Amino acid sequence: MNILLALLFPIIGAFIMPLTKKLKGYISVLVSILSFLTVLSIYPEISNGQNIEFCMKMVFDMHIFVDKLNFIILSFVSFLNILIVIYSIKYIKKDHLRYYSLLLLTMGFTLGSFLSGDLLTFYIFFEMTTLFSFFLVMYRGTGKARRAGFMYLVMCLTGGALILISVGLVYVQEGNFEIYNLNNSASFLFILGCLIKAGAFPLHFWLPEAHPVAPSPVSALLSGIMIKIGIYGIIRFFMTHESIYWVAIIAVSSMLFGVILALIQSDIKKILAYHSISQIGYMLLGVSISSLGIAGGLFHMINHAIFKSLLFLCMGAVIYSTGERKIQKLGGLYKKMPYTMMTCIIASFAISGIPLFNGFVSKTIIFDSLSDTLLKIAFILTGAGTFISFCKLNKYVFFGKLPDNLKSTKEVPKLMLFSMIALSIICIFIGVFPNIVFKNLYTGVFDFWSLSHLLEMSASVILGACIFVFGKKVGLFDIKEYNIDKIYGKFADFINSFCKNINGIVSKDLNIYILCILLFLIILFFI
């Protein structure tokens, strides 16, 4: 029963929001700390090997299930929630009621989806997170935000619909909603639904629209936590130890596609969003290969939550201080915002997989579980691409010449810095002591510091560095604009004109109505 409080605290906090006048941010922090402590309080039972499960009898039975795998994810997610709320105390300047209540509701339901013990509960929390994060994505209210929000809503609801159909298929065949195995149309639909939520390659196009357009702490929440719900669903519910080839293909294409597109963006948050797609590819690759890979994928889930949130928070700090989002207009901020620069560099090292940071440990595990040479090559290429992209990002944002209109930028407020520094400390900590987390995920030993692993990782970094230096000389990284938005814009215009035309087709004549009735009668008579 206690673990349910972890999810109920944020939701009740959201309902208290209208009653408090000024202290909304602080109450939210309090509520998220309470939720984190609730999660930690079940640690004694978990470490003994017991699993917590219970069933709430409402219309349907909703099952909550916590075991070792779950516990690690839950504790990191709830801790991340605290840091995001602390960051947004200073970041969000107006309209607090709407923001904090939606944020708390989203956080509560996200925790719920990691707690779910059967398919129907998972579906229920999946849909609720989509609903509330939709309003958060549309928070800014600009036309671009609205379009991105609707695209996000439709895609995630489609994912939810696919999951519902698979839940129905499982129920009809099995009679309950417990964990089920592969080779089935139900599992195909379920994995497809989860992939839409995760943002894997063919169905990813909502991600680069929705994540940049939200406020920065919300982007951190979305990119850091919410896309992991999909991966968690695949691992928990449809996992065997065989490999799923088609998921591996999708994973590799996400990795490469994400990195390649990230290299040609010029909006800082869009770069990070495309990198989310490629990191999701890493996780999917790990999940689809072997059981060691599943552990690697899970570990990468946690690490990605940490360093991607840190990156979004850093970029949010840059936007907060300067008001600019394009890299052409930024530069030379290392003097004005030193702490931001340091945390950003730590996060970039983490995402590129440099040893002593947390990205290295999870990427090594995934790389080790690969057996196919083609996959290994793709892996190294993606690693190189990631390193290049972050070199470019840091160079253009923090180094170089400071533009004239940015001469008066200051460092961000201390509360925001607190979150960023806390996250970077965790990055380094996990990078140096990976076994603390890893022993909960896998029942074997893994030698992180063996020479072969170090060499493999270094290969991608060195390759990246070479290409970067070469590319700078050649001018390969001149900024171009690439906009998938145009395709979606055309689609939206098409739907608009279609709707207007349909309204004109439906006739208003009474005679036609009665004619339709008679035709209906006659046609049905002859069928």
Nearest distance from C-beta of residue 53 to other proteins, angstroms: 20
Q: Which is nearer to other proteins, 1 or 521 (CB)?
A: 521
Nearest distance from C-beta of residue 227 to other proteins, angstroms: 20
d(CA 279, CA 300): 8
Q: Which is nearer to other proteins, 486 or 508 (CB)?
A: 508
Q: Which is nearer to other proteins, 246 or 513 (CB)?
A: 513
Q: Which is nearer to other proteins, 89 or 128 (CB)?
A: 128
Cα–Cα distances in angstroms (integers) from residue 414 to residues 33, 90, 345, 507, in the given order = 19, 9, 19, 63
Q: Which residue has the tokens 């400390």?
A: 425
What is the enclosing helix (H) or strand (E) of 456?
helix 451-474
Nearest distance from C-beta of residue 508 to other proteins, angstroms: 5
With beta carbons less than 8 A apart as the criterion, state whether 60 and 109 touch.
Answer: no
Nearest distance from C-beta of residue 497 to other proteins, angstroms: 10
With beta carbons less than 8 A apart as the criterion, state whether 427 and 358 touch.
Answer: yes
Q: Which is nearer to other proteins, 237 or 367 (CB)?
A: 237
Nearest distance from C-beta of residue 162 to other proteins, angstroms: 8
> How many Cα atoms sit within 13 Å of 12 on the Cβ side?
11
d(CA 345, CA 505): 59
> How many Cα atoms sit within 13 Å of 308 on the Cβ side?
33
d(CA 300, CA 431): 12
Nearest distance from C-beta of residue 522 to other proteins, angstroms: 9
Packing angle of the helix pair 373-398, 268-287 (nearest 10 deg): 160
d(CA 283, CA 300): 6
Nearest distance from C-beta of residue 311 to other proteins, angstroms: 29
Nearest distance from C-beta of residue 417 to other proteins, angstroms: 32
Q: Which is nearer to other proteins, 56 or 356 (CB)?
A: 56
Q: Which is nearer to other proteins, 127 or 324 (CB)?
A: 127
**CA angle (405 as vertex; 399, 409 as ends), nearest 5:** 65
d(CA 77, CA 41): 15
Q: Which is nearer to other proteins, 193 or 434 (CB)?
A: 193
Nearest distance from C-beta of residue 151 to other proteins, angstroms: 10
Q: Which is nearer to other proteins, 230 or 331 (CB)?
A: 230
Nearest to 75 by CA among 2, 1, 5, 6: 6
Q: 38 Cβ partners below 8 Å, 6+ apart?
A: 2, 3, 5, 6, 9
Kind of pairing, strands 52-57 and 61-66? antiparallel
What is the enclosing helix (H) or strand (E) of 189?
helix 185-198
DSSP-derived 3-state class of residue 64: strand
Q: Note the residues at the interface with other proteins (CB under 8 A).
A: 58-60, 98, 123-125, 127-128, 131, 134-135, 138, 141, 146, 150, 153-154, 157-158, 161, 164-165, 168-169, 171-172, 495, 498-500, 502-503, 506, 508-511, 513-521, 524-525, 527
